[in-house]
DNA sequence: AGTACCACCTGACGGC
DNA sequence: TGCCGTCAGGTGGTAC
């Protein structure tokens, strides 16, 4: 379930449970989740190191260690990281684990194995190599406007593109577009500047609200699409019912009355 | 270069 | 009950 708010919850969990601890054991249960590195090379780089900090850009986690190297962690579609009191053994879906000097552990779970664990020279180096865009919570309004309006594809696929802005996934894209009353298929380069400023503003509000309720959508204020995001559910503004379309190849839920698509603004129109 | 599409992997769910 | 098709919140590579 991990988009920016979910990954931020994991970051905070690791920050309060792992920083300052020394890695004694590196347990690679399934090397299919390793990102272009062997289990032995990763273990060698990590063992004996103390964890210095845990950072996040978009959906990407960075665990910085004493040596200066960085353990990179991505949760994919179904990943999660836990900090159990002892090193687990044989748990379902556990793919990777670290054992610390105080007996506690870090355990990485990933049912579908779309996630990845790797090693980087530095956060900057990783960001450059992957061309990762600025984090959705930190990007300035001007940068957001410039980056988003530079693309002619649909606003939905722009929001999902981690090279443009990092951290937004299918669900939060739908929520932000609903809040900004933008149709997902609107050509991003044709959206007025003031509407893009609104989109930036609601995007920040949505991400912050989700973090505030610890990503429990049921606790979101009324008026949020995420409380009941499904085809046929009532529009949170009371404007009829939600529908489902495919945008950017993904299931997209919207309110056809709140989110109109002017013909001239459609993707591909000119 | 920019955009569109598929594959990667496993499980849950609805229909027959 | 059981089998089958469909769908799921991400991303990288490949093919236009």
> Catalytic annotation on A3?
yes
Confidence band for A151, pLDDT divided at 50, 70 and 90: very high
pLDDT in tens, A163-194: 999 999 999 999 999 999 999 999 999 999 99
pLDDT in tens, A102-125: 999 999 999 989 999 999 999 999
Complete domains list, chain A, with CATH: 4-130 (3.20.190.10), 141-265 (1.10.8.50)
The residue among A181, A180, A151 whose CA lies nearest residue A248 is A151
Residues in A 41-60 whose C-beta is less than 7 A from nucleic strand C are 58-60
Q: Which residues pair with A124 in a beta bridge?
A: none
**Closest CA to B8 C1' — which residue?**
A114
As ranges, strand B nucleotides with an atom below 7 A of a protein CB are 2-6, 8-11
pLDDT in tens, A224-251: 999 999 888 999 999 999 998 989 989 9
State residue A268's pLDDT score: 53
Whether A177 and A183 have beta carbons less than 8 Å apart is answered as yes
> Catalytic annotation on A8?
no
Helices in A155-245 by DSSP H: which ranges? 155-160, 170-179, 193-212
**DSSP 3-state assignment of A170?**
helix
- What value does the mean pLDDT take over residues A152-168? 94
State residue A79's pLDDT score: 93
The residue among A164, A161, A157, A158 whose CA lies nearest residue A134 is A164
State residue A269's pLDDT score: 52
Task: Give residue for tokens 């937004």.
Answer: A168
Which two three-digit tokens encode residue A239?
A: 């404007």
Residues in A 83-122 whose C-beta is less than 7 A from nucleic strand B are 111-114
> Catalytic annotation on A59?
yes
C-alpha span between A28 and A41 (Å, rounded): 11
Cβ neighbours of residue A44 under 8 Å, at least 6 residues apart?
none
Residues in A 206-225 whose C-beta is less than 7 A from nucleic strand B are none
State residue A183's pLDDT score: 94
Cβ neighbours of residue A4 under 8 Å, at least 6 residues apart?
A58, A59, A135, A136, A137, A166, A167, A168, A169, A172, A207
State residue A265's pLDDT score: 73
Whether A5 and A204 have beta carbons less than 8 Å apart is answered as no
Q: Residue A234: how many CB atoms within 10 A of its CB?
A: 12
- Name the nucleotide nearest A226; use CA and C1': C9
- pLDDT at residue A256 greater than cutoff 90: yes
Confidence band for A263, pLDDT divided at 50, 70 and 90: confident
**DSSP run (H or E) holding A206:** helix A193-212
Q: Give A261 CA → C12 C1' in Å.
A: 31
Cβ neighbours of residue A83 under 8 Å, at least 6 residues apart?
A13, A14, A17, A18, A104, A105, A106, A107
Confidence band for A158, pLDDT divided at 50, 70 and 90: very high
Confidence band for A270, pLDDT divided at 50, 70 and 90: very low
pLDDT in tens, A40-86: 999 999 999 999 999 999 999 999 999 999 999 999 999 999 999 99
- pLDDT at residue A1 greater than cutoff 80: no
| DSSP character at residue A40 | H
Q: Give A93 CA → C5 C1' in Å.
A: 25
Proximity of residue A149 CB to strand B below 7 A: no
pTM of the model as a whole? 0.95
Name the average pLDDT for chain A: 93
- pLDDT at residue A264 greater than cutoff 80: no
């Amino acid at each position: 379930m991990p988009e920016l708010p979910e990954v931020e919850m994991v970051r905070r969990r690791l920050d309060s449970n792992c920083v300052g601890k020394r890695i004694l054991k590196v347990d690679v249960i399934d090397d299919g989740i390793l990102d272009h590195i062997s289990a032995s090379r990763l273990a060698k780089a990590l063992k004996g190191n103390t964890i210095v900090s845990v950072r996040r850009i978009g959906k990407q986690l960075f665990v910085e260690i004493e040596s200066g190297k960085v353990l990179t962690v991505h949760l994919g579609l179904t990943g999660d990281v836990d900090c159990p009191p002892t090193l687990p053994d044989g748990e379902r879906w556990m793919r990777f684990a670290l054992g610390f000097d105080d007996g506690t552990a870090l355990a990485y779970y990933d049912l579908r194995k779309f996630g990845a664990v790797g090693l980087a020279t530095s956060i900057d180096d990783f960001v450059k190599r992957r061309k990762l865009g600025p984090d959705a919570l930190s990007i300035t309004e001007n940068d957001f406007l410039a980056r988003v309006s530079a693309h002619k594809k649909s606003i939905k696929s722009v929001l999902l593109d981690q090279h443009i802005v990092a951290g937004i996934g299918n669900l939060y894209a739908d929520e932000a577009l609903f809040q900004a009353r933008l149709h997902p298929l609107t050509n991003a380069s044709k959206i007025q500047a003031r509407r893009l400023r609104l989109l930036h503003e609601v995007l920040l509000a949505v991400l912050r609200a989700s973090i505030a309720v610890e990503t429990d959508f049921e606790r979101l204020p009324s008026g949020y699409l995420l409380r009941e995001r499904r085809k046929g559910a009532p529009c949170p503004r009371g404007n009829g019912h939600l529908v489902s379309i495919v945008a950017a190849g993904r299931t997209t839920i919207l309110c056809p009355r709140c989110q109109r698509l002017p013909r001239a603004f459609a993707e591909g129109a000119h």
